[in-house]
Chain A
């Protein structure tokens, strides 16, 4: 079943188009990697998919039965004020907010799930700590745990591995793979091409000529060859 379709989509801010002619289709259970250079409009595309930005042109069609409360989201940057008092536990639990509707309190099941997600991200011992006093990588894990709480069918991740140590990074990729195996659709932005190629089923390249296709198609395409050459050169330097 198709979960979302973008048709001649153009994204941008305040009337200025950042990237246009974006066409792709995401099936239920898919694992899509979005790649492209800095400023190509990857985060903007994700925000547009989530309804935080309006599409400039074209359309996004969601599956009719997909509800907002089934979507999990990890933003690239969260601007949190330096003096905001919030414990890790409070933030992770807030992932369930979409599912609560008008129910005022979290139930037992949600608390248990939040605890599990904190354990997966290895932040269970930080539960009572203040978010602003954590390191960058620890903060990233907190937001990931929150995204895991929110997701049921679709998970959108904007550079999830930034700031994570190698071990957590590998574990995170495996975790995402496990979620994908369990039927959750993944759309992930990543600069880590080799890793994402290992896991992804489809690739969306954003740039002057956007590309969408399976991983194999991407590797054979002109854009894919050029882009991976560039990456290799950078890595050698």
Chain B
């Protein structure tokens, strides 16, 4: 088995898949802690539906590179969702549900009426599970992913305390002069960019899982924000790495395997948390 693994690891496409998978896992787990705590667990799903809607429109308009439409639209929706602040009437989950259903319906309607592509269910499927398989990444995509990850990790280290303050008590942060709106603005852009990128590479199913599971797992084990953040990054990276290796060895779909490992780890963490809490 080790030989087989060593054989596969020589191939650049396997190396690329590992690098990109792990980096996306790292970024989304870092964002995940804040998103889960702000009741935005489903933002990955919601925004990828928005992106799907935008893609359909782009297809109807006949744009060759649909990123020029998809990315701005997704960013705008992310800003609309996150910058509404703590004191609004509608809760985050309801807003996301509304937006995502609307975008999905609109996108489907568009592509149905102006039907350009014959294979509609296929298109829907690729947005869910990743259009370009993670095993066929190009070098430029890997580089882009690396640059983006460095930006996200740096943002996280430099603004770690601000992220805590704004997530924990938005009103207090505002009262003592933290620029909450500017912060949310930057955060939304980062989230939108990561989701659009990750959706193309690994599919929206995996994005949502990567955002939710590590954060929830580590919240079973740790009581402090710092502990949870570090732990979820570690869990996420380990899960993505081992998930991709397993999928290569066993020939299973990458995204689904990584999600499976994440679920397993969540189960273990839940049990550990229970045992610890029961003492």
Contacts and interface: CB of A to CB of B under 8 A. Distances in A.
Contacts of B39: 81
Nearest to B222: A85
Nearest to A72: B176
Interface string B124-162: 000000000000000000000000000000000111111
Given A73-B175, A98-B177, 16 more contacts: A67-B177, A71-B176, A72-B176, A73-B172, A86-B164, A87-B223, A89-B224, A90-B225, A93-B161, A94-B172, A97-B162, A104-B157, A104-B159, A105-B161, A130-B223, A150-B176
Given A80-B168, A100-B161, A106-B161, A73 B176 contact: yes
A81 B159 CA distance: 22
A156 B37 CA distance: 27
Interface residues of B, number: 30
B228 interface: yes
Contacts of A78: 169, 171-172
Contact of B176 (A68, A85, A102): A68
Interface of B: 37, 39, 86-87, 157-162, 164-165, 168-169, 171-178, 219, 222-228
A105 B161 CA distance: 7
A207 B173 CA distance: 29
Given A68-B176, A72-B176, A97 B228 contact: no
Contacts of A75: 169, 171-172
Interface residues of A, number: 40
Interface of A: 47, 50-52, 67-69, 71-73, 75, 78-81, 83-87, 89-91, 93-95, 97-98, 100, 102, 104-106, 128-130, 133, 146, 150, 156
B264 to A, nearest CB: 21
28 contacts: A47-B171, A50-B175, A52-B87, A69-B176, A69-B177, A72-B176, A73-B172, A73-B176, A75-B169, A80-B169, A84-B168, A85-B223, A85-B228, A86-B164, A87-B225, A90-B164, A90-B224, A90-B225, A91-B168, A95-B176, A97-B161, A98-B177, A100-B161, A100-B162, A106-B161, A128-B224, A129-B223, A150-B176
